[in-house]
Structure 1
Amino acid sequence: MNLKQTITSLLLTVLALTSFAQRKTYWQQGVDYTMDIDVNEKTYQYDGKMKLKYSNNSGQELNKVYFHLYFNAFQPGSMMDERLKSIVDPDARMVTNSGTREKPVLHSRIAALKPDQIGYQKIKSVKYNGQAVNFKEDGTILEVSLPTAIKDASTVEFDLEWQAQVPEQIRRSGRNSREGIAFSMTQWYPKMAQFDEFGWHLDEYVGREFIAPFGNFDVTIHINKDYVIGSSGKLQNPSEVKGYVKNPKIKVNNKKATWHYKAENIHDFAWAADPKLVVDSAKTKGGVTVYTVYLPTDQQVTDNWKTALGLAVDFFDFTGQHFGAYPWKTYTIVQGGDGGMEYGTATLITGGRNLKGLVGVIYHEAAHSWYQHLFGVNETVDEWMDEGFTSYIEELALTELFVRPTDNALNPIGSAYMAYYKLAKSGKEEPMSLLADYYNTNYAYSNEAYNKGAVLAEQLGYIIGKENLQKTFLKFYDIWKFKHPTPNDFKRVAEEVSGINLKWYFNLFINTTRTIDYSINTVSDNSIELVNKSNLAMPIDLLVEYQDGSKELFYIPLREMRGEKPAEKYDIYQGVKRTVLPDWFWTKPTYTVPVSKKVKSVKIDPTERLADINPEDNKR
Structure 2
Amino acid sequence: MNLKLSISFLLVSLLSLAAFGQRKGYWQQKVDYSMDIDVNEKTFQYDGKMTLKYSNHSGQSLNKVYFHLYFNAFQPGSMMDERLKTIPDPDRRMVKQVNGKPESRIASLTPEQIGYQKIKSIRYNGQEASFKVDGTILEVTLPSPILDNSTATFDLTWTAQVPEQIRRSGRNSAEGVAFSMTQWYPKMAHFDEFGWHLDEYVGREFVAPFGDFDVTIHINKNYVIGSSGKLQNPNEVKGYVKNAKVKSKNNKASWHYKVSNIHDFAWAADPKFVVDSAKSKGGITVYTVYLPTDKTIVDNWKTALTMATDFFDYTGKHFGAYPWPTYTVVQGGDGGMEYGTATLVTGGRNLKGLVGVIYHEAAHSWYQHLFGINETVDEWFDEGFTSYIEELAYQEIFDRPQVRALNPIGMAYNAYIKLALSGKEEPMSLLADYYNSNYAYSNEAYSKGAVFAEQLGYIIGKENLQKTFLRFYELWKFKHPTPNDFKRVAEEVSGINLKWYFNLFLNTTRRIDYGIAQVKDDHVLIRNKSDLAMPLDILVEYADGSKELFYIPLREMRGEKPAEQNYPVYQGVKRTVLTDWFWTRPVYRLPLSKKAKAVTIDPTQRLADVNPQDNSYKQ
Into which bin does the TM-score normalised by the smaller protein fall?
over 0.9
Provide the residue aligned with 1:34 in structure 2: 34
Distance in structure 1 (CA, Å) of the matches to 2:561 and 2:361: 32
Give matches, 1:34-433, under 5 Å. 34-99=34-99, 104-402=100-398, 404-406=400-402, 410-433=406-429
- SS state at 2:157 partner: strand
Aligned partners of 1:584, 1:42: CA distance in 2, in Å? 69
Instruction: Report the Cα distance in structure 1 between the residues aligned to 2:345 and 2:138, rounded to whole angstroms.
Output: 29
SS at match of 2:491: helix
Provide the rounded CA distance (Å) in 2 between the counterparts of 1:280 and 1:513. Answer: 46
The CA distance in 1 between the partners of 2:436 and 2:33, in whole Å, is: 37
| Cα distance, 1:402 vs structure 2 | 2.0
Residue 54 of structure 1 and its aligned partner are, at CA, apart by 0.2
C-alpha distance after superposition, 1:343-378 (max 9, x if no partner): 000000000000000000000000000000000000
SS state at 2:419 partner = helix
| Structure 1: distance between partners of 2:610 and 2:130 | 56
Residue identity opposite 2:520 in structure 1: S
Once the two structures are superposed, the pairs formed by residues 525-536 of structure 1 within 5 Å of their partners are: 525-536=521-532
Q: Match for 1:496 among 468, 492, 509? A: 492
Aligned residue in 1 for 2:13: none
Q: Is the 8 A contact 2:395 2:404 kept in 1?
A: no
Separation (CA, whole Å) in 2 of partners of 1:174 and 1:239 = 28
The AA in structure 1 aligned to 2:76 is P
Cα distance in 2 between the residues matched to 1:353 and 1:252:
35
- In 1, the alpha carbon distance for the partners of 2:402 and 2:393 equals 15
Structure 1 CA distance for aligned equivalents of residues 599 and 335 of structure 2: 45
Superposition TM-score, scaled by structure 1 size: 0.95
- Pair 1:568-2:564 in alignment: yes
Partner of 1:615: 612
Please state if 1:604 is matched with 2:591: no
Shift of 1:296: 0.7
Query: Residues 157-203 of structure 1, C-alpha deviation per residue, up to 9 Å, x if partnerless?
Result: 00000000000000000000000000000000000000000000000
1:263-320: per-residue Cα shift (whole Å, max 9, x none)? Answer: 0000000000000000000001111100000011000000000000000000000000
Matched, 1:505 2:501: yes
* 1:585 paired residue among 582, 587, 590: 582
Greater displacement, 429-438 / 567-576:
567-576
Unmatched runs of 5 consecutive residues or more in structure 1 = 1-22
| Partner SS state of residue 392, structure 2 | helix
1:409, distance to aligned residue in structure 2 (A): 5.2
The one-letter amino acid of 1:159's match is: D
Question: What's the C-alpha RMSD, in Å, of the aligned pairs?
Answer: 0.9
AA partner of residue 375 (structure 2) = E
Partner Cα distance (1:72, 1:173) in 2:
11
Q: How many Å apart are 1:123 and its aligned residue?
A: 0.1
1: CA distance, partners of 2:362 / 2:422: 31
Q: Is the 8 A contact 1:24 1:59 kept in 2?
A: no
Deviation at 1:598, TM superposition (A): 1.1
After superposition, give the CA deviation of every residue in 1:371-400 in whole Å (9 maximum; x if it has no partner).
000000000000000000000000001110
1:470 is aligned to 466
Aligned counterparts of 2:610 and 2:74: Cα–Cα separation in 1 = 40
Distance 1:519 1:298 in 2: 54
Q: Which amino acid is the alignment partner of residue 192 of structure 1?
A: M
**Count of residue pairs the alignment pairs up:** 594
Q: Which residue of 1 aligns with 2:19?
A: none
CA contact (8 A) 2:405 2:568 kept: no
How far does the alpha carbon of each residue in 1:460-500 deviate from its partner, in whole angstroms, 9 at most, with x for none?
Answer: 00000000000000000000000000000000000000000
Q: Tell me which amino acid in the other structure corresponds to 1:46.
A: Y
Q: What is the CA distance between 1:406 and its match in structure 2?
A: 2.7
Q: Using the alignment, how far apart are the partners of 1:356 and 1:202 within structure 2?
A: 38
Q: State the shift of 1:405 in Å.
A: 4.6
Aligned partners of 2:367 and 2:383 also within 8 Å: yes
Aligned to 2:16: none
| Match of residue 453 from structure 1 | 449
Match of 2:479, SS state, is coil
Q: Any conservation in 2 of the 1:55–1:155 contact (CA below 8 Å)?
A: yes
Name the SS of the counterpart of 1:371 in structure 2. helix
2:391, 2:408 within 8 Å by CA — same for their partners in 1? yes
Gaps of 5+ in 2: 1-22
Give the equivalent residue in structure 1 for 2:5: none
Contact 1:318 1:397 in 2 (8 A): yes
Query: Secondary structure in 2 aligned to 1:54?
Result: strand
* Distance in 1 separating the partners of 2:571 and 2:61: 60
What is the letter of the counterpart of residue 198 of structure 1? F
Match of 2:546 among 547, 550, 553: 550
* Per-residue deviation, 1:98: 1.7
Taking a change above 3 Å as real, the CA distance of residues 501 and 228 of structure 1, as seen in their structure-2 partners, is same
Give the CA deviation at 1:404. Answer: 1.2
Residues 298, 185 of structure 1: alpha-carbon distance in 2 compared, 3 angstrom cutoff = same
Maintained 8 Å contact 1:296/1:302: yes
Q: What code does the residue aligned with 1:375 have?
A: F
DSSP-derived class of the 1:195 partner: strand
| Residues 195, 201 of structure 1: 8 Å contact kept | yes
* Cα separation, 1, equivalents of 2:604 and 2:271: 51
Q: SS where residue 492 of structure 1 aligns?
A: helix
Letter in 1 for 2:155: D
Counting aligned pairs with the same residue, the percent is: 80
Contact 1:24–1:58 (CA under 8 A) maintained in structure 2: no
> Partners of 1:406 and 1:318 in 2: how far apart?
19
CA distance in 1, matches of 2:37, 2:133: 21
SS in 2 for 1:114: coil
Map of 2:9 onto structure 1: none
Equivalent residue letter for 2:410: G
* C-alpha distance in structure 2 between counterparts of 1:226 and 1:250, whole Å: 9
Is contact 2:286-2:309 (8 Å) kept? yes
SS in 1 for 2:402: coil
CA distance in 1, matches of 2:404, 2:349: 29
Would you identify which runs of 4 or more consecutive aligned residues in structure 1 move more than 4 Å?
none
Distance 2:582 2:87 in 1: 42
